[in-house]
A and B are shown apart, each in its own frame.
Chain A
């Protein structure tokens, strides 16, 4: 199986550790991972902010870069949802690039989907002896319908104590440019999310999207809460002999 890593522009630029973790994890599970170097960005920011033309250009670029792979794995529920759920509407049937979208989009998986649905693995042999709470993130929850997949993986991590997060399904207030366009509401939403995280007493806040984690983590850091943020891939990549 030819597996491509779709790193996403945010992870590429700001969270390379997550990408390294995905590579390490998938290699450990026997996958040969390729990183198509021409990849850039899925175009979500442009489309969701109202710049559809730029978004369509990026979508076409994406489908050209990732054509021919059996599976495309992204450590981001939001970017995976953008490609899989939004591309078919963005690049209208019959228009240029629509055929490539129809071919590529269904092969894009969030990491936890790939592990559970494609590799059929729910115990990745990870070890992480910490108290962790999990924020499911909106697009993972309501666009990709990841459901229990990420927490199933976390429950099988040795040493890990998973603490349920109150109001887990509520948005953290990131929303891409929403955080800048409506900063007051965004901050108010994040304040409630942070309060819920702190109520768990967890050491680590985990999610499958670094954008949301960057938002919640940035607020928690400003407030000196001492709670770390970690992408799901980084916890799953951690082993006893690290």
Chain B
């Protein structure tokens, strides 16, 4: 599997145009996102103080980001005191080098991995592979992605684009290459698929000496790491190996142990719509004699922090609620976003982290109809539409569009010019073609244009007011005189 997403030229719109044609993908995504939507609303509504928890979560994150330097130092000190070692990585290359060196120092050539966005972001698996170290993904969905030589398309369920029968095919075809083969009589019943994964990974867990994880939260006050999961693969990786390396983005900090009381309520209900996820592990430094290393990852985060509007994206706790409610994500899936961070949060986080250098990254701020469902669902109140609009103002615009918007702005900024333009349109209303040329053909490919009325509203108002003043009965307006559309 290569570390980069291969996008089409044309950026997100081109990727999306291909994705929406894939009816299997559309069906899988629709089914999965619609299943989780209703459940999330129920899980959230069950708590009488959801909005207060959300406000606290937002404020805790903002406060932490404001004093991130202080809390990182506090974290480093607490982890060190508890027998762990802290490493700092400016970028992906530095983080990969640190992890590789740590693995090599153990003499091992294999690591087991707990699902982690940060290690995906830095392309750790590919880097380790190039150094002769095999990384085994142990989360069920990550396993499906790894075996299928595929890309993750969702935070929580990286294989959300796959349905049960596709997963069965992947297990039957690929498990043998990586270890214990799938049972030949494997069905596509989800419990049977889960059982196949259990058997496939069991010996690996017992034999592995090194594990790599991410972290959902870090507590500065105590030096504690927190990982939420469902399957138990996290517990296996965090508990059994002799060496544990956690790669965690610097924005994952919380100041105090107490702050967990907020996030352990916000995250499970927003992500899997459960009152609580099956397993949460917390550990501080070297637990039960393990050799523990924490790699603090910047990789663009400090750049995001410098963006006054965009920095709120660093509140993100990767719950994926915004993906699940997004009408765009539902139709395109995650791959179209060309990043490990798909969906609404990805549309802001990816360009914030990487800039606008590629056509794809420059197109991401436009990958939204600004419907606002993401903001409503976000448990830490990231105003994603606000950041999208802000990024749109920063992204370089095309020459033709710039000229068009300038003209439109000139016309719209003056009522006389606007009225003239309207009358011009009215005069040539019968000549408007059914199919528009150029970029506007994107409208008429699937929709008819509204008919241009005989008279604009402002001209009607002026005309009827004149007749009122001259004493004639006034045209009452309303439905009786409304235009045919």
Contacts and interface: CB of A to CB of B under 8 A. Distances in A.
Please determine if A and B sit in direct contact within the complex, based on CB atoms under 8 angstroms apart.
yes
A13 B425 contact: yes
A138 B478 contact: no
B355 interface: no
Contacts of A171: 327, 369, 371, 373
A128 to B, nearest CB: 9
B422 interface: yes
- Interface size of B as a range: 35 or more
A43 to B, nearest CB: 8
Contacts of A17: 453, 479, 481-483
Given A20-B477, A37-B461, A186-B369, A180 B409 contact: no
Q: Could you tell me the dominant secondary structure of chain B's interface residues?
A: helix
Interface in B368-394: 368-373, 375-376, 386, 389, 391-394
Given A179-B443, A180-B440, A16 B460 contact: yes
Nearest to A78: B370
B447 interface: yes
Interface string B317-346: 000000000011001100000000000000
A148 interface: no
B13 A184 contact: yes
Interface string A18-32: 111101110000000
Interface residues of A, number: 75
Contact of A222 (B395, B446, B462, B480): B446
A103 interface: no
A238 interface: yes
B13 A181 contact: yes
A119 B406 CA distance: 40
Q: Could you tell me the dominant secondary structure of chain A's interface residues?
A: helix
Given A16-B483, A21-B482, A37 B462 contact: yes
Contact of B366 (A7, A16, A174, A178): A178
A23 to B, nearest CB: 5
B439 interface: yes
Closest 4 interchain pairs by CB?
A: A17-B482, A175-B369, A20-B477, A218-B447
Interface of B: 12-13, 16-17, 20, 26, 327-328, 331-332, 365-373, 375-376, 386, 389, 391-395, 397, 401, 405-406, 408-409, 412-415, 418, 422, 425, 439-440, 442-443, 445-450, 452-453, 455-458, 460-462, 476-483, 485
